Structures are given as C-alpha cells and as structure tokens.
Amino acid sequence: MARVDISIVLPTYNERENIVNLIPEIAECIKNTNYEIVVVDDNSPDGTAEAAEKFKNARVVRREKKMGIGTAYKAGFDAAHGKIIVTMDADMSHNPKYVQSMINKINEGHDIVVGSRHVEGGAIVGWGINRKIISGIANGLTHFFLGIKVSDVTSGYRAYRKELLKKMPLDNIKSSGYSYLLETIFYAVRFGKIAEVPIVFEDRKAGKSKLGKNEYVKYVKTVGRLFVKRIKG
C-alpha cells in the first residue's frame, strides 16, 4: 500500500449534494501531500456512499444504519492509514483551505489542532443569535466544570496525530453524538499538546442539520459525567 501521511475523515448521512463538491475541493487543497479521503456513511438513502465511491481518491466505510457522529468518528479513526487524521463536517461548513495550517501545527509538535471559530481571526457565518448563545453556553460549561481552556470545544474540524489517538481510551468513550467531540477533547488534554487555528465557519447551504435538541441535553449530561470523573481523578 502506498504511503499515506494525511487521512481526511468525513462522517456522512444524506450529504450527496455536498460530498460531490467537497471531495474535489479537499483534493485541490492538499494535492501536494500523500493523502486519502475516508467517507464514513451511515447508509444514506440519498446515495451519498455511491456518489463518494466514484472518486478514485475516496474510500467509503459503509455502516448499516444511522449510528451517530461519535461512532462515525471512531470508525474513521480505525479505518484511517494516515499519520495525521483530520475530521471535517461534510456539509461544506468547514472550508478545506484550513487543512494545511492545521497540518503545519501538528508538524510543529502539537498532538491535536482544533479549527476554532472563537479565537482571533475566526468567525461564524449564517447562525442566528439562539444558536450562537447555545454554543457559547456549551463552551462555557466545559471551561468552568472541566477546566478545558480550548475556546471551541464543539468544533468538529480537527487534526489529530495518530500516536495521540492510540494513547486515548477511545473504546471507553461513552458518547455517541456530538458530545463525542467534548469527550475526545477531555482525554486529549490529558495525553497531548493542543493548539487552535482560526477558521471561518459557514452554516450549511444544502441539506438539513442533524443537531437536534436531544444532542444539547446529552452534552450537558456528558459535562456532568466528566466533571465527576475529573473530581475523582
């Protein structure tokens, strides 16, 4: 098998319209690297997997049903061959142009890099005030109860050094939805060095968001569970 330095992991469910545009954009942004694109698809009825398989530079991991973005990340980590693994949303909200700056941070000695909407130079385009408030509360709870200083804990745009993922107890992470992002950061700060790079997040233009009210409730519960774990050491 040819050497793979960078793996781009894209969890998908009904993202056919977006994935056919995103894969070529990713390829253009990292064309000078040895890379692979791993699409983890939860049996999308709109044919996302079939559309992705038409690209020679994409490999599709098919799952039998919709199982949540957390387990999709784990499946992507397991399938990825790269020394650096980048996770992105497949809805075009994460611009691939930031991948190289994240890789550069890893190469400078960091173990995980978060694409942050909340550091200087970062921004959010297309969100209403309610969603911004909810995001702020989520990050505030994390900072206060868990002592995690990352400004954008809920960002799914990340780069991981594979060695870090091997150290983290990924099989023990209980979260299956967006709380998975919180739980991976919780362990990452224990095992590795973290950096953030600014990104401009643009809300999806096609498809429907999978973030429902239940995810917010799960997030708060996860903060509480991890707080107890933090106190117990």
For 99-115, write each residue's pLDDT tens digit: 999 999 999 999 999 99
Share of the chain above pLDDT 70, in %: 95
Residue of higher predicted confidence among 233 and 5: 5
Which helix or strand (DSSP H or E) is residue 129 part of?
Answer: helix 129-146
Q: What is the pLDDT of residues 46-68, one digit of tens each?
A: 999 999 999 999 999 999 999 88
Share of the chain above pLDDT 90, in %: 70
Residues in the chain: 233
Query: With contact defined as beta carbons under 8 Å apart, do 158 and 164 qualify?
Result: no
Calpha distance 2→135 (Å, rounded)? 41
Mean pLDDT of all residues in 28-37: 94
Q: Strand pairing of 194-198 and 112-116?
A: parallel
Calpha distance 142→222 (Å, rounded)? 10
pLDDT band, very low/low/confident/very high, at 197 (cuts 50, 70, 90): very high
Q: Count Cβ atoms within 10 A of the Cβ of residue 75 and give its class: 0-12 exposed, 13-18 middle, 19 or more buried.
A: buried
pLDDT band, very low/low/confident/very high, at 195 (cuts 50, 70, 90): very high
Q: What is the pLDDT of residues 70-90, one digit of tens each?
A: 899 999 999 999 999 999 999
pLDDT band, very low/low/confident/very high, at 206 (cuts 50, 70, 90): low
For residue 14, pLDDT beyond 90: yes
Tell me which CATH homologous superfamily contains domain 6-232.
Spore Coat Polysaccharide Biosynthesis Protein SpsA; Chain A (3.90.550.10)
Residue labelled with tokens 């692979």 = 36
Which helix or strand (DSSP H or E) is residue 71 part of?
Answer: helix 69-79
For the chain, the average pLDDT equals 91
Res 232: pLDDT:
83
Res 201: pLDDT:
92
Q: Residue 17: CB partners within 8 Å, gap ≥ 6?
A: 46, 206, 207
pLDDT band, very low/low/confident/very high, at 139 (cuts 50, 70, 90): confident
Which helix or strand (DSSP H or E) is residue 179 part of?
Answer: helix 179-191
Residue labelled with tokens 């694109």 = 37
For residue 224, pLDDT beyond 70: yes
Mean pLDDT of all residues in 193-199: 96
* 3 alpha-carbon distance from chain centroid: 23
Q: Count Cβ atoms within 10 A of the Cβ of residue 196 and give its class: 0-12 exposed, 13-18 middle, 19 or more buried.
A: buried
Res 176: pLDDT:
75
Residue of higher predicted confidence among 204 and 86: 86
